[in-house]
Amino acid sequence: MKHLRKVIESIKSQHTETSESLQAQIWELICYAPKMPVRLQQQELLDTATRVELKVYDQYFSKTDLRFNSFKWGHGDQLILLTHGWGSKAADFSELIRELIKIECFTVVAFDAPGNGSSEGHLSNLFLFVEAIKQIAEYYGPASIMIGHSLGGKASVRALQQSSNLPKVLITIAPLINLKENFKGSMRAAEISATDQQAFLDDFEELYGQSIDDFHLEKMYDFAGQTKHILLYDLNDTITPATDIESFLRHYPDVKPIQYNHTTHAKIISDPIAISDILKQIHTVA
């Protein structure tokens, strides 16, 4: 978090200028994932896992292979893949993982995406999350159940866009719907002018060779009705607003919503009620 705070302070000190320096700082603001230390109980759970180091190629930032850490529990014939959100890590699913590994038919795999948690990388992006999911599938085999939180939910959908192996169950937890508005919200909070915001969005589209609107979840979700999809969200969420979620649900009525009104974007993955609901939804696979 210290690095991100310094980036924000630096941006605010030069926000009246339009320069390459400012744009470089905006890329840091948007693509640097803050890293929080692993708590003792989380580390104890990680210590019980089989750790496997995989790698993906970062074609946009470092242009090198980045090593990322994956963690496996259990030996069941049904694979559950957990994908964390932005600035998060595998260990943040610890409460859910402890419940899942009690079910003998499951193998549970989680990972720290490149640029997040314990994995290599200074800057990260959706593409690195997606490529990591693909590498997990190549190494461990296709997942029967995919669970993704926040950006991890969007990355799960993006990966499935590009795969012929759909899971039996997809569970998205407060999935990020509108990437463009998320970026603009971060830039507004750093007091970046509308002109400089647009300059960043233009650079983003040039770098990735496509419109940022293509990363809206409603456009990415092209396998409606082909797998069981449950979406958990909370009305108090300020990162993924309920209005965005409910717009998505209106477009895709086959998605089963589970709504809460007592938690937050970060805490929903450790909320006992949400964990209980997730376990109920996957019982048909167990």
Res 21: pLDDT = 87
Tens digits of residue pLDDT in 59-82: 999 999 999 999 999 999 999 999
In a domain, 286, yes or no: no
Q: Are residues 136 and 256 in the same domain?
A: yes
Tens digits of residue pLDDT in 240-262: 999 999 999 999 999 999 999 99
- Taking CA atoms, 202 is separated from 58, 196, 211, 215, in Å, by 21, 10, 9, 14
pTM for the predicted model, two decimal places: 0.96
Read off the CATH number of the domain in which 269 is found.
Answer: 3.40.50.1820
Q: Are residues 99 and 162 in the same domain?
A: yes
Structural domain range at position 48: 37-177+216-281
Domain total in the chain: 2
Q: Are residues 130 and 154 in the same domain?
A: yes
Q: Are residues 53 and 161 in the same domain?
A: yes
Q: Are residues 221 and 209 in the same domain?
A: no
Q: Mean pLDDT for the chain?
A: 95
Q: Are residues 86 and 155 in the same domain?
A: yes
Res 16: pLDDT = 52
Tens digits of residue pLDDT in 44-62: 999 999 999 999 999 999 9
Inform me whether the pLDDT recorded for 29 exceeds 60: yes
